[in-house]
Amino acid sequence: MKIAILGAGNMGLSFSKSFLKYELIKPQDLHLITRSESKISKIAEEFPKSQISTFEETHELDADLIIIAVKPQDFQHVTQNFQFTLKENQMVLSIMAGIKIEKIQTLLNHPLVVRAMPNSPTLLGMGITGYTAAGGISFSQLINIERLLNSTGRSVYLENEDLLDGVTALSGSGPAYFYYIVDAMIKAGVEMGIDENLSKLFVQQTMLGAYHLINNSDKSLEELIKDVASKGGTTEAALKTFEDNSFKDILKNGILNAEKRAKELNG
DSSP element (H, E) containing 265? none
Which of 160, 187, 217 is the last residue in one of the domains?
160
Whole-model pTM: value is 0.91
Asked if pLDDT for residue 183 goes beyond 90, the answer is yes
Taking a C-beta distance cutoff of 8 angstroms, is the pair 8, 33 a contact?
Answer: yes
Q: What share of the chain is helix, strand, coil (3-state, %, to 5)?
A: 55, 15, 30
Q: Are residues 229 and 206 in the same domain?
A: yes
pLDDT of residue 63: 94
pLDDT tens-digit profile of 210-262?
Answer: 999 999 999 999 999 999 999 999 999 999 999 999 999 999 999 999 999 99
Q: Are residues 150 and 192 in the same domain?
A: no
In a domain, 169, yes or no: no
Q: What percent of the chain has pLDDT over 70?
A: 100
pLDDT of residue 159: 95
191-198 average pLDDT score: 98
Which of 91, 126, 160 is the last residue in one of the domains?
160
Quick one: pLDDT band at residue 18, thresholds 50, 70, 90? very high
Domain that holds residue 63: 3-160
pLDDT of residue 61: 85
Q: Are residues 183 and 152 in the same domain?
A: no
In a domain, 167, yes or no: no
Q: How far is CA 120 from CA 128, 133, 172, in A?
A: 9, 22, 7
Asked if pLDDT for residue 84 goes beyond 80, the answer is no
Taking a C-beta distance cutoff of 8 angstroms, is the pair 81, 53 a contact?
Answer: no
Q: Are residues 127 and 10 in the same domain?
A: yes
Which of 104, 136, 160 is the last residue in one of the domains?
160
Q: Are residues 10 and 135 in the same domain?
A: yes
Q: Are residues 24 and 73 in the same domain?
A: yes
Q: Are residues 121 and 202 in the same domain?
A: no
d(CA 172, CA 121): 10
Q: Are residues 154 and 182 in the same domain?
A: no
> How many domains, the chain?
2
pLDDT tens-digit profile of 101-135?
Answer: 999 999 999 999 999 999 999 989 999 999 999 99
In a domain, 224, yes or no: yes
CATH number of domain containing 226: 1.10.3730.10
pLDDT of residue 127: 96
pLDDT tens-digit profile of 139-156?
Answer: 999 999 999 999 999 999
CATH number of domain containing 9: 3.40.50.720
Q: Are residues 146 and 190 in the same domain?
A: no
Q: Are residues 108 and 58 in the same domain?
A: yes
In a domain, 166, yes or no: no
CB burial string 181-218: b at 16+ within 10 A, e below: eeeebbeebeeeebeeeebbeebeeeeeeeeeeeeeee
d(CA 237, CA 5): 50
Q: Are residues 231 and 201 in the same domain?
A: yes
In a domain, 138, yes or no: yes
Asked if pLDDT for residue 54 goes beyond 90, the answer is no
d(CA 245, CA 266): 34
Q: Are residues 193 and 243 in the same domain?
A: yes
Asked if pLDDT for residue 59 goes beyond 90, the answer is no
d(CA 161, CA 102): 10
